[in-house]
Amino acid sequence: MPMAIRSKDGMPPGALPMLILRVLQSGSLHGYAIAQRIHLLSSEVLAVEEGLLYPTLQKMLLKGWVTAEWGISETNRKVRFYQLTPAGRTQLKAELAGYERTTQAIQDILRTA
């Protein structure tokens, strides 16, 4: 059963922006495609709900991590395509470094406790 990404489910704060930034590293996508890509790349374990995805994308726009342009989707619908900015690439590097440090620390405790 897929796990919806919500902070109350124990998802670490900041995980969704990090995942979005990583997915957008490959190129621009619209919101639904971002959610689908996260779902597929997580082997269908993670499911991003619209109610969390779009507010997160809006915050990322305000921080300058992504830009957005209106376009037409593959299903002929008007959608916003999001693209990573240089500031977003820098933020992704910082997020990944922090994630790696935290993951390593947790693994160290699990191996030695």
CATH code, 97:
1.10.10.10
Q: Supply the range of the domain harboring residue 45.
A: 3-112
Could you tell me which residues come within 8 angstroms of residue 41 by beta carbon, excluding any fewer than 6 positions away? 23
70-95: pLDDT as tens digits? 999 989 999 999 999 999 999 999 99
Please count the structural domains in the chain. 1
Confidence at 6, pLDDT banded by 50, 70, 90: very low
pTM: 0.85
CA angle 13, 66, 76 (to 5 degrees): 110
